[in-house]
Structure 1
């Protein structure tokens, strides 16, 4: 049949023409008081708009590349730290050759089912690889599965994933930490060499602190977020989770760099130094500022452990002094209204939101929209709390506090930057306590929410400001790991890793 004949066929409309009653109802809900004549005009105008949407629906959109063959794998049932097992072998050679990798399940891997810890997305299989996945495969890495994460990644603990809780490897009644809970469990237990985590309020550093491994929230924009489920574009980070600082540096070297505009948060002139060969550079004469406010409200055992660990850096010739950044006390309060932007982007915006240039994962957006519309009640308790809280704030106070918090965040950023003019890194406890108990069925809602978000005072501020922040095991308190966090100047991630590597050597010498 010829093209002329085919063109006569009726096309399924991408957008249906709204009825006059639908437009009238919208007008009433928005309190616009539109007249009958205005409604008639709007409907007539919309007929032309429909043609535009029809054309957009027909033009093929650019896709993220998929470069290495793979099979879909299978759902893991024996170890809840895995969501899905697969086996994707990358290049024959490269910096990650021989390394097994787990990918947090908010990061897309083509052909492998994706859940993001929640029932709304279950059954979705992306047709694209996130940029970090492509980079790891090109570097010779072997991806062996998707790791379980908390429901929509909205939890600092490890019990909200719809597939069930993940216990701490050091104590099964305590949380592994979240939201990168599966990644930390598998790396800590030695099941895999490396893992990808995501960090919006501490979701790499919290679990790594509680499970005794290394976790880096890199400088904002250093690693492209392309192909991952966003929470809030101004606090989203992807980063490495590893057992050693050396592996952290190696993985960062592969992940970092400009992504040709698909992630608009990235400056195009990013320089990726050879992190893995630079971390052993001596830190003699460098200056470490022990952040006084970072120890406020911290359990005594954790505080003592981190303070002792920080002063051990003097053995490497480091100058260690106390420093005060008073605004750090308000860091969590500044981050919280910003993080509530997650509701607009991730829930109402179906994982993509609007108003940013870059690559939108439209199939993921459609899957989330279907899930939210079908079973909104299936989200976790923290997600319900977010939805109710944000709807209340938006209805009564609009976006006032989000905007003001973003403005104040500039002051917080400047305050850290001023301290970092004197000191090469700042140091503090990653978390105020060791791993919390997993909640039981008889625990109250308020106590459950405290367990979910009550550990973020030191980690969340640096999601807002974007400074690189790395946690490394400082030691143990009553048999549980304690994390020490190094924070550095923006895009000076190498200094953060150099200091952590120097401490790692001192710690291991003391333990040998």
Structure 2
């Protein structure tokens, strides 16, 4: 006798085919299935679909949301003179911690539960995640005060800083110049003194370029050191989340909080990650510290850039550092190795698989994947025609 629970109707995850539908497929493909074969298949598929039904009923694993917050608001132009904010919010973390008293901006490719997330693009406009990215939870646990989402470039595909789909981010040093990208809002807000720390994302310079162009500090961490869980992916072998700040010491402190193993949610991470206190490792003196200048790195650079870097190296040498020039010929091929990976991988991950590659063994975010899939389906690839990386990708039409 069926229990009360079994009597409850459950929406089927997949509707099984009727015998007539199986017969039609057999006729269409000229399989000439016998009556017995049709009956066997019809019965067998029902058994298989029980697994799909059970998976559909299981509760999705979810990232924690620990601290109260409100959705916030879109700032008006008078509060957003650099166009560097996408959304303002007010989320206070723990009372104590390494980041206590620090105002922090989160790049808008990173999920903050209950706060709209656009990733700089019409593709994701209107999406509100129900989960906090791992780095967001770590920031709040460390006493950080999240004050908003920093604008970024359209799907983070730009190194310049002019293609956010709402408005281009301005460089606070000179508003006639671009800020660098794709973590453009993060760098601009830091340089303008509106926040103390910011998260950034980097696949090919998206932390380092805006940090350089706005005059702040940004670090692309060692691959896998900082979990990418809860950030919109571009290419899983190149995706990095990292710290941005106004000083090296604050950047090191921020890395201490962000880094570390994520209990398997980001399978790119080895489980034995050690996170030292980076902020206490900064040298007070430079005597004996070895600094290398890569010869190939200066090729095809503007003369003023070369002169500036070498002048800085000379100052370090005067402080006691040992500065030497070295050669790494393979450096010349670095771009040519990176370029096909980002182009083909970006197309596979972002467009074909709507945010995750098949076989991804880490945390999945169905709401984000659904929004990406709907966005790509409604706007298709014409949305990306302004991006040279995608425009040049073979196979995309």
Equivalent runs, 1:168-317 vs 2, <5 Å = 168-317=171-320
Separation in 2, partners of 1:107, 1:190: 22
209-218 or 348-357: bigger deviation:
348-357
Is 1:98 the counterpart of 2:97 in the alignment? no
- In structure 2, relative to structure 1, the CA distance for the partners of 1:392 and 1:379 (3 Å cut) is closer
40-49 or 52-61: bigger deviation:
40-49
Separation in 2, partners of 1:392, 1:211: 34
Q: CA deviation at 1:45?
A: 5.3
Contact between 2:151 and 2:185, CA under 8 Å: does it hold in 1? yes
Q: CA deviation at 1:385?
A: 5.3
Q: CA deviation at 1:377?
A: 5.2
Q: Residue 320 of structure 1: SS of its match in structure 2?
A: strand
Q: CA deviation at 1:323?
A: 0.7
- In structure 2, relative to structure 1, the CA distance for the partners of 1:140 and 1:274 (3 Å cut) is same
Q: CA deviation at 1:390?
A: 4.5
Q: Residue 254 of structure 2: SS of its match in structure 1?
A: helix
Q: Residue 75 of structure 1: SS of its match in structure 2?
A: coil
- In structure 2, relative to structure 1, the CA distance for the partners of 1:53 and 1:300 (3 Å cut) is same
> 2:376 matched to which residue of 1?
372
Q: CA deviation at 1:358?
A: 1.5
Q: Deviations over 1:454-491 (max 9, x none)?
A: xxxxxxxxxxxxxxxxxxxxxxxxxxxxxxxxxxxxxx
Separation in 1, partners of 2:375, 2:24: 24
Q: Residue 254 of structure 1: SS of its match in structure 2?
A: helix
Separation in 1, partners of 2:366, 2:158: 25
38-47 or 366-375: bigger deviation:
38-47
> 2:354 matched to which residue of 1?
350
Instruction: Determine which structure has the larger strand proportion and give its number.
Output: 1
Q: Residue 346 of structure 1: SS of its match in structure 2?
A: helix
Separation in 2, partners of 1:99, 1:136: 10
Separation in 2, partners of 1:44, 1:336: 50
Q: Residue 7 of structure 1: SS of its match in structure 2?
A: helix
Q: CA deviation at 1:143?
A: 0.2
- In structure 2, relative to structure 1, the CA distance for the partners of 1:81 and 1:34 (3 Å cut) is farther
Separation in 2, partners of 1:316, 1:23: 79
After superposition, the CA RMSD in angstroms is: 2.6
Separation in 2, partners of 1:43, 1:23: 12
Q: CA deviation at 1:83?
A: 0.8
Q: Residue 100 of structure 2: SS of its match in structure 1?
A: coil
- Which runs of 5 or more structure 1 residues have no equivalent in the other structure? 28-32, 394-512
> 1:88 matched to which residue of 2?
91
> 1:63 matched to which residue of 2?
62
Q: Residue 177 of structure 2: SS of its match in structure 1?
A: strand
Q: Deviations over 1:53-97 (max 9, x none)?
A: 221110002211111111111122322211111000001111111
Separation in 1, partners of 2:8, 2:388: 46
Contact between 2:102 and 2:197, CA under 8 Å: does it hold in 1? yes
Equivalent runs, 1:40-79 vs 2, <5 Å = 46-78=45-77, 79=80
Is 1:152 the counterpart of 2:155 in the alignment? yes
Separation in 2, partners of 1:157, 1:374: 27
Q: Residue 88 of structure 2: SS of its match in structure 1?
A: strand
Separation in 1, partners of 2:377, 2:388: 14
Separation in 2, partners of 1:91, 1:22: 62
Q: Deviations over 1:275-320 (max 9, x none)?
A: 1111134331122111011011111111111111112211221111
Separation in 1, partners of 2:163, 2:22: 44
- Which runs of 5 or more structure 2 residues have no equivalent in the other structure? none
Q: Residue 175 of structure 2: SS of its match in structure 1?
A: strand
143-152 or 360-369: bigger deviation:
360-369
Contact between 1:118 and 1:152, CA under 8 Å: does it hold in 2? yes
With structure 1 as the length reference, what TM-score do the two structures score?
0.70
- In structure 2, relative to structure 1, the CA distance for the partners of 1:381 and 1:392 (3 Å cut) is closer
Q: Residue 202 of structure 1: SS of its match in structure 2?
A: coil
Separation in 1, partners of 2:189, 2:382: 27
> 1:400 matched to which residue of 2?
none
- In structure 2, relative to structure 1, the CA distance for the partners of 1:382 and 1:241 (3 Å cut) is farther
Contact between 2:84 and 2:170, CA under 8 Å: does it hold in 1? no
Separation in 2, partners of 1:36, 1:188: 72
Q: CA deviation at 1:391?
A: 2.5
Q: CA deviation at 1:172?
A: 2.1
Residue of structure 2 aligned with 1:135, choices 135, 138, 145: 138
> 2:125 matched to which residue of 1?
122
Between 1 and 2, higher relative CO (CA 8 Å, sep ≥ 6) is seen in 1
48-57 or 138-147: bigger deviation:
48-57
Q: CA deviation at 1:7?
A: 3.4
Q: Residue 217 of structure 1: SS of its match in structure 2?
A: coil
